[in-house]
């Protein structure tokens, strides 16, 4: 099902958000004051609009009130991002995701109407550092607090055993929410208790970071 989104600001982050959403089959309006950016994004959006979103009257002409979500990515222009967020909120858009320049800016964005504040450089830096310090965690998605969803290769002691036998929730306070089977290629959402782990499987688990680290450290024992 196609959804309606708008992306304000077409630097690298905004451009790739626009392109990805459009290639996923959604209706996407792309907005920027720079003509070259508008020309570049035209093949990858439903509509490209050149305009200055720091002008309230201009924002009101964009039809953003029809969007399910608006993404604001204004690069280093904190003032423009803040004004755009405020004007979009006044239109009643239910979800407003905004790229912040720093944590103080993020606090301001939350106060003027951002429902989600994004720190791309910070998030990528943390993810890169964690991939180096914990190579056994293949990928992860941070959640609130220190909870996360992570992809983990099974330790040798898990191979040939069922999820019921492993009792990961009881032993580690971890839930297995999915299994990626590489041979044959397949994904099982919420696998049954009788599923038997293979060497080639990847476990998608959800839990506290400390608990996931304990599971990962089994490889070293």
pLDDT in tens, 147-175: 888 888 888 889 999 999 999 999 999 99
Domain CATH for 184:
3.30.70.1450
Which of 118, 141, 174 is a domain's end point?
118
137 within 8 A of 212, measured Cβ to Cβ:
yes
The answer to whether residues 100 and 138 belong to one domain is: no
Number of domains observed in the structure of the chain: 2
Which of 54, 86, 118 is a domain's end point?
118
- pLDDT for the residue 120: 77
The answer to whether residues 79 and 111 belong to one domain is: yes
Nearest to 92 by CA among 67, 56, 125: 67
The count of residues in the chain is: 221
Which of 84, 118, 152 is a domain's end point?
118
CA distance 212 to 219: 12
Query: Is the model's pLDDT at 135 over the cut of 60?
Result: no
The answer to whether residues 162 and 183 belong to one domain is: yes
The answer to whether residues 74 and 148 belong to one domain is: no
Percent above pLDDT 70 for the chain: 87
The answer to whether residues 76 and 139 belong to one domain is: no
Tokens 């990962």 sit on residue: 216
The answer to whether residues 179 and 209 belong to one domain is: yes
The answer to whether residues 153 and 84 belong to one domain is: no
For residue 16, give its domain range. 4-118
The answer to whether residues 33 and 52 belong to one domain is: yes
203 within 8 A of 176, measured Cβ to Cβ:
yes
- More confident of the two residues 182 and 16: 16
The answer to whether residues 38 and 75 belong to one domain is: yes
- More confident of the two residues 2 and 108: 108
The answer to whether residues 105 and 153 belong to one domain is: no
Q: Is the overall model pTM greater than 0.75, yes or no? A: no
pLDDT in tens, 29-44: 999 999 999 999 999 9
Query: Is the model's pLDDT at 57 over the cut of 90?
Result: yes
H helices present in 91-172, as ranges = 103-112, 120-133, 163-166, 168-172
């Amino acid at each position: 099902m196609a959804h309606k989104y708008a992306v304000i600001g077409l630097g690298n982050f905004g451009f790739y958000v626009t392109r990805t959403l459009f290639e996923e089959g959604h209706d996407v309006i792309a907005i920027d004051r720079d003509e070259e950016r508008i020309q570049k994004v035209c093949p990858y959006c439903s509509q490209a609009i050149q305009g200055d979103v720091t002008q309230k009257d201009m924002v009101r002409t964009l039809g953003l009130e029809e969007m399910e979500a608006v993404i604001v990515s204004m690069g280093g222009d904190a003032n423009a991002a803040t004004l755009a967020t405020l004007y979009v909120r006044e239109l009643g858009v239910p979800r407003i995701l905004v790229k912040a320049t720093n944590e103080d800016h993020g606090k301001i964005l939350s106060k003027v109407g951002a429902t989600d504040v994004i720190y791309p450089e910070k998030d990528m830096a943390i993810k890169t550092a964690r991939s180096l310090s914990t190579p056994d965690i293949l990928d992860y998605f941070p959640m609130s607090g220190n909870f996360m969803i992570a992809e983990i290769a099974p330790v040798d002691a898990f191979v040939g055993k069922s999820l019921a036998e492993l009792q990961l929730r009881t032993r580690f306070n971890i839930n297995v929410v999915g299994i990626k089977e590489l041979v044959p290629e397949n994904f099982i959402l919420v696998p049954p208790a009788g599923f038997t782990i293979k060497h080639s499987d990847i476990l998608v688990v959800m839990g506290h970071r400390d608990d996931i680290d304990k599971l990962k450290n089994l490889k070293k024992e």
